[in-house]
Amino acid sequence: MDVIQGIKTRRSVVKVKQDPIEREKVEALLELATHAPNHHLTEPWRFFVMEGEARKILSDAYQAVAIDNVGEDLTEETKELIAKTQVNKATRAPVVIAVVVSFRGQDDTERKEDRAATHAAIENMLLGAHAMGLGAIWRSGAPMYHPKMKEAFKLSDNEEMVGLVYLGYPDIIPVPKNRKPVSEVTTWL
Protein backbone atom coordinates (compact mmCIF):
# COMPACT_ATOMS: atom_id res chain seq x y z
CA MET A 1 0.00 0.00 0.00
CA ASP A 2 1.39 3.40 -0.89
CA VAL A 3 1.42 6.19 1.66
CA ILE A 4 -1.37 8.22 0.04
CA GLN A 5 -3.69 5.22 -0.10
CA GLY A 6 -2.76 4.41 3.52
CA ILE A 7 -3.64 7.90 4.73
CA LYS A 8 -6.95 7.91 2.86
CA THR A 9 -8.03 4.41 3.97
CA ARG A 10 -6.82 4.30 7.59
CA ARG A 11 -9.63 4.16 10.11
CA SER A 12 -9.81 3.76 13.86
CA VAL A 13 -10.64 0.13 14.63
CA VAL A 14 -12.57 -0.14 17.88
CA LYS A 15 -13.13 -3.90 17.89
CA VAL A 16 -10.14 -6.20 17.60
CA LYS A 17 -9.49 -9.89 18.23
CA GLN A 18 -7.52 -10.95 21.29
CA ASP A 19 -5.05 -12.89 19.12
CA PRO A 20 -1.45 -12.06 20.04
CA ILE A 21 0.51 -9.72 17.79
CA GLU A 22 3.98 -10.71 16.74
CA ARG A 23 6.62 -8.79 18.71
CA GLU A 24 8.41 -7.88 15.47
CA LYS A 25 5.33 -6.00 14.29
CA VAL A 26 5.06 -4.03 17.53
CA GLU A 27 8.79 -3.21 17.40
CA ALA A 28 8.41 -2.10 13.77
CA LEU A 29 5.58 0.24 14.77
CA LEU A 30 7.70 1.75 17.53
CA GLU A 31 10.50 2.25 15.01
CA LEU A 32 8.09 4.03 12.66
CA ALA A 33 7.00 6.27 15.53
CA THR A 34 10.57 7.44 16.07
CA HIS A 35 10.74 8.71 12.50
CA ALA A 36 8.13 11.38 13.18
CA PRO A 37 9.17 15.00 12.63
CA ASN A 38 10.45 16.63 15.79
CA HIS A 39 11.92 20.08 16.30
CA HIS A 40 15.72 20.03 16.72
CA LEU A 41 15.64 16.20 16.80
CA THR A 42 14.63 16.23 20.44
CA GLU A 43 12.82 12.87 20.11
CA PRO A 44 10.53 13.72 23.05
CA TRP A 45 8.58 10.43 23.14
CA ARG A 46 8.56 7.38 25.40
CA PHE A 47 6.56 4.21 24.93
CA PHE A 48 5.19 1.70 27.45
CA VAL A 49 4.12 -1.54 25.73
CA MET A 50 1.60 -3.62 27.66
CA GLU A 51 0.51 -7.15 26.80
CA GLY A 52 -1.23 -9.83 28.84
CA GLU A 53 -1.02 -9.27 32.59
CA ALA A 54 1.00 -6.06 32.10
CA ARG A 55 -2.27 -4.38 31.06
CA LYS A 56 -3.22 -4.57 34.76
CA ILE A 57 -1.04 -1.48 35.27
CA LEU A 58 -3.41 0.41 33.00
CA SER A 59 -6.52 -1.18 34.50
CA ASP A 60 -5.40 -0.26 38.02
CA ALA A 61 -4.61 3.29 36.89
CA TYR A 62 -8.02 3.67 35.25
CA GLN A 63 -9.65 2.39 38.46
CA ALA A 64 -7.65 4.80 40.64
CA VAL A 65 -8.68 7.72 38.42
CA ALA A 66 -12.35 6.70 38.44
CA ILE A 67 -12.40 6.20 42.22
CA ASP A 68 -10.68 9.54 42.74
CA ASN A 69 -13.28 11.21 40.53
CA VAL A 70 -16.20 9.66 42.46
CA GLY A 71 -14.84 10.89 45.79
CA GLU A 72 -15.96 9.86 49.24
CA ASP A 73 -19.46 8.64 48.28
CA LEU A 74 -18.13 5.31 47.05
CA THR A 75 -20.21 2.19 47.70
CA GLU A 76 -19.01 -1.39 47.24
CA GLU A 77 -21.39 -1.70 44.28
CA THR A 78 -19.83 1.37 42.66
CA LYS A 79 -16.32 0.01 43.30
CA GLU A 80 -17.25 -3.27 41.57
CA LEU A 81 -18.75 -1.45 38.60
CA ILE A 82 -15.67 0.75 38.31
CA ALA A 83 -13.38 -2.29 38.47
CA LYS A 84 -15.29 -4.10 35.72
CA THR A 85 -15.50 -1.16 33.32
CA GLN A 86 -11.88 -0.15 33.82
CA VAL A 87 -10.57 -3.69 33.31
CA ASN A 88 -12.58 -3.82 30.08
CA LYS A 89 -10.96 -0.57 28.91
CA ALA A 90 -7.47 -1.86 29.58
CA THR A 91 -7.99 -5.26 27.96
CA ARG A 92 -9.97 -4.33 24.85
CA ALA A 93 -6.89 -5.10 22.72
CA PRO A 94 -4.02 -7.59 23.11
CA VAL A 95 -1.43 -4.80 22.95
CA VAL A 96 -1.72 -1.33 24.43
CA ILE A 97 1.02 1.25 23.98
CA ALA A 98 1.00 4.18 26.38
CA VAL A 99 2.65 7.13 24.66
CA VAL A 100 4.35 9.76 26.79
CA VAL A 101 5.93 13.09 25.95
CA SER A 102 9.13 13.96 27.84
CA PHE A 103 9.42 17.72 27.73
CA ARG A 104 12.88 19.14 27.23
CA GLY A 105 12.20 22.11 29.50
CA GLN A 106 9.62 24.53 30.79
CA ASP A 107 9.45 26.86 27.77
CA ASP A 108 5.82 26.91 26.60
CA THR A 109 6.68 26.91 22.89
CA GLU A 110 9.08 23.98 23.23
CA ARG A 111 6.49 22.03 25.23
CA LYS A 112 3.90 22.58 22.49
CA GLU A 113 6.40 21.41 19.87
CA ASP A 114 7.34 18.33 21.91
CA ARG A 115 3.67 17.43 22.35
CA ALA A 116 2.99 17.91 18.62
CA ALA A 117 5.98 15.71 17.70
CA THR A 118 4.70 12.97 20.01
CA HIS A 119 1.28 13.19 18.38
CA ALA A 120 2.98 12.79 15.00
CA ALA A 121 4.73 9.68 16.35
CA ILE A 122 1.33 8.22 17.23
CA GLU A 123 0.05 8.92 13.71
CA ASN A 124 3.07 7.08 12.28
CA MET A 125 2.16 4.07 14.43
CA LEU A 126 -1.46 4.19 13.29
CA LEU A 127 -0.49 4.34 9.62
CA GLY A 128 2.06 1.56 10.09
CA ALA A 129 -0.52 -0.63 11.84
CA HIS A 130 -2.93 -0.10 8.95
CA ALA A 131 -0.26 -1.05 6.41
CA MET A 132 0.49 -4.24 8.40
CA GLY A 133 -3.17 -5.29 8.50
CA LEU A 134 -3.57 -4.45 12.17
CA GLY A 135 -6.44 -2.55 13.70
CA ALA A 136 -5.55 0.39 15.90
CA ILE A 137 -7.19 3.22 17.75
CA TRP A 138 -5.72 6.20 19.59
CA ARG A 139 -7.51 6.90 22.86
CA SER A 140 -6.99 9.92 25.06
CA GLY A 141 -9.15 12.01 27.35
CA ALA A 142 -9.15 13.27 30.91
CA PRO A 143 -7.75 10.08 32.53
CA MET A 144 -4.50 10.50 30.55
CA TYR A 145 -3.76 13.73 32.39
CA HIS A 146 -4.85 12.68 35.87
CA PRO A 147 -2.13 12.49 38.56
CA LYS A 148 -3.08 8.85 39.29
CA MET A 149 -2.25 7.86 35.69
CA LYS A 150 1.05 9.70 35.91
CA GLU A 151 1.80 7.93 39.17
CA ALA A 152 0.97 4.49 37.75
CA PHE A 153 3.55 4.87 34.99
CA LYS A 154 6.09 6.57 37.29
CA LEU A 155 6.26 9.66 35.09
CA SER A 156 8.43 12.58 36.12
CA ASP A 157 7.12 16.10 36.59
CA ASN A 158 8.43 16.84 33.11
CA GLU A 159 6.41 14.09 31.42
CA GLU A 160 2.79 13.54 30.51
CA MET A 161 0.83 10.80 28.84
CA VAL A 162 -0.67 11.91 25.53
CA GLY A 163 -2.55 8.78 24.59
CA LEU A 164 -2.99 5.06 24.41
CA VAL A 165 -2.69 3.13 21.17
CA TYR A 166 -4.74 -0.07 21.21
CA LEU A 167 -3.55 -2.70 18.71
CA GLY A 168 -4.99 -5.98 17.46
CA TYR A 169 -6.12 -7.85 14.41
CA PRO A 170 -9.40 -6.28 13.24
CA ASP A 171 -12.62 -8.02 14.25
CA ILE A 172 -14.61 -5.59 12.13
CA ILE A 173 -13.70 -3.37 9.22
CA PRO A 174 -14.91 0.17 9.88
CA VAL A 175 -17.08 1.88 7.31
CA PRO A 176 -15.39 4.90 5.72
CA LYS A 177 -16.82 8.18 6.93
CA ASN A 178 -17.39 11.18 4.72
CA ARG A 179 -15.00 14.05 5.31
CA LYS A 180 -15.69 17.71 4.76
CA PRO A 181 -14.57 18.91 1.35
CA VAL A 182 -11.13 20.49 1.64
CA SER A 183 -12.62 23.68 0.17
CA GLU A 184 -14.65 24.13 3.41
CA VAL A 185 -11.56 24.17 5.61
CA THR A 186 -9.08 25.96 3.34
CA THR A 187 -8.44 29.64 2.81
CA TRP A 188 -6.13 30.57 -0.06
CA LEU A 189 -4.31 33.82 0.67
Residues in the annotated binding site:
10-12, 39, 138-140
- Count CB neighbours of 143 within 10 A: 21
From CA 50, how far away is CA 153, in angstroms rounded?
11
Give binding residues for FMN as ranges.
10-12, 39, 138-140
The closest of 133, 36, 139 to 88, measured between CA atoms, is: 139
From CA 56, how far away is CA 169, in angstroms rounded?
21
Distance of CA 25 to the CA centre of its chain: 17
The closest of 7, 14, 6, 2 to 170, measured between CA atoms, is: 14
From CA 188, how far away is CA 12, in angstroms rounded?
30
